[in-house]
């Protein structure tokens, strides 16, 4: 459902796209505010996706005070210098220039970034100064580094904290490495652990929930630990140790003013969130001045971040810098 349009005044208007595996979300943004937005289910074919994105952008930005100057696109895939290396959930399997593919449908400058980077930019907007490292934990683990309000992408993948190596002899990761943070602690990994405990009969609570027929998730593992299940607590504690080691690596490599944890499983009032903070207090470098924060999930953060990125890139291109 699209929201009621609001006159954008004389501020620059930018279109933002959050291109996910299930939904495509589009917004018109001006002055850091969403003026209008829309959401549609992602079509299956790439040709339909291109046409849908273009149509949504044009419709969402119509009838405003002025047309958009640029489009920022955040999508779930590996993005390097505007080219998507892989985005399996969207159907991209090799290097694809999204801006070029959209050009026949959308006559606007298009700037591309990873969806987690877009979310991180939106989240970090409340800290416009200094270095902010954002670590996200959902189905996987991701992140980004923001310096004075601007994304520091490296060649595209800087801040992908899910692939920091924690255990060189650990399990194989989908990236081809072993012992990455993402395979040791992520929503997917904790859900698999909960299912294994249920199937083994090691956790009465998890076994009971599994018999209901629904798939178990990380929250079930936390509930079991909260109820005194020692096996669930042991798994979460090991995961907290791994995540704290990842935080230590972030501090050692970036020495940021703050690390922002994003994700429902990392809130300070959850079993796992408390365990992470306890472990972090034990292993943090004595010299580290980095603050640890948490932000609640905000579905608009990715749209605002994509818009911010597009505006900064467009402005730089116009000034020739």
**pLDDT tens-digit map of 44-75:** 888 999 999 999 999 999 999 899 999 999 98
Looking at the DSSP bridge assignments, the partners of residue 30 are 13, 33
Q: How far is CA 269 from CA 164, 264, 273, 277, 291, in A?
A: 26, 10, 6, 11, 18
Residue of 206, 10, 308, 160 lying closest to 316 (CA atoms): 308
**pLDDT tens-digit map of 2-41:** 333 334 445 899 999 999 888 999 999 999 999 999 999 9
pLDDT at res. 230: 94
pLDDT at res. 5: 36
CA distance linking residue 29 with residue 116, whole number of Å: 19
pTM, to two decimals: 0.88
Burial class (CB in 10 A: 0-12, 13-18, 19+), 311: buried
H helices present in 227-270, as ranges: 230-254
CA distance linking residue 97 with residue 206, whole number of Å: 45
H helices present in 62-186, as ranges: 98-102, 115-124, 181-184
Sequence spans of domains, the chain: 13-108, 127-295
pLDDT at res. 10: 52
Q: Which CATH architecture has domain 13-108?
A: 2-Layer Sandwich (3.30)
Looking at the DSSP bridge assignments, the partners of residue 111 are 72
CA distance linking residue 202 with residue 231, whole number of Å: 7
Query: What is the DSSP secondary-structure string of 160-211?
Result: -GGG-BS-TTSPBPTTS-BSBHHHHSSHHHHHHHHHHHHHHT--HHHHHHHH
Q: Which two tokens stand for residue 180?
A: 């990455």
**pLDDT tens-digit map of 126-171:** 999 999 999 999 888 999 999 999 999 888 888 999 999 999 999 9
Asked if the domains at 13-108 and 127-295 fall in one CATH topology, the answer is yes
Higher pLDDT, 95 or 177: 177
Domain 127-295 fold is Nucleotidyltransferase; domain 5 (3.30.420)
Contact 248, 287 (CB under 8 A): no
Which run of H or of E encompasses 220? helix 218-226
pLDDT at res. 3: 37
Contact 71, 106 (CB under 8 A): yes
């Amino acid at each position: 459902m699209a929201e009621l349009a609001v006159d954008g005044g004389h501020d620059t208007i930018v279109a933002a796209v959050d291109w996910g595996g299930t939904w495509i979300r589009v917004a018109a943004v001006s002055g850091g505010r969403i003026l209008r937005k829309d959401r549609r289910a992602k079509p299956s074919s790439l040709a339909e996706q291109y046409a849908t994105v273009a149509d949504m952008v044009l419709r969402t930005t119509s009838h405003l005070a002025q047309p958009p100057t640029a489009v920022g696109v955040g999508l779930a895939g590996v993005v390097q210098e505007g080219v998507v290396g892989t985005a399996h959930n969207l159907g991209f399997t090799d290097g694809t220039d999204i801006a070029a593919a959209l050009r026949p449908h959308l006559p606007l400058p298009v700037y591309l970034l990873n969806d987690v980077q877009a979310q991180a930019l939106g989240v970090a907007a409340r800290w416009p100064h200094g270095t902010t490292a954002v670590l996200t934990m959902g189905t996987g683990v991701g992140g980004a580094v923001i310096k004075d309000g601007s994304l520091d992408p490296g060649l595209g993948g800087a801040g992908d904290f899910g692939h920091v190596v924690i255990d060189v002899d650990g399990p194989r990761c989908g990236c081809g490495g072993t012992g990455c943070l993402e395979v040791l602690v992520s929503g997917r990994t904790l859900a698999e652990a909960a299912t294994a405990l249920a199937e083994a009969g090691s956790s009465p609570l998890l076994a009971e929930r599994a018999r209901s027929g629904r798939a178990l998730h990380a929250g079930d593992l936390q509930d079991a630990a909260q109820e005194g299940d020692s096996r669930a607590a042991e798994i979460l504690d090991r995961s907290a140790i791994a995540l704290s080691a990842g935080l230590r690596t972030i501090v050692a490599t970036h020495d940021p003013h703050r690390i922002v944890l994003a994700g429902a499983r990392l809130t300070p009032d959850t079993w796992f969130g408390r365990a992470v903070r306890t472990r972090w207090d034990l292993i943090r470098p004595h010299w580290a001045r980095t603050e640890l924060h948490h932000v609640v999930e905000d579905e608009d953060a990715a749209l605002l971040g994509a818009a911010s990125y597009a505006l900064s890139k467009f402005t730089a291109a116009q000034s020739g810098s």
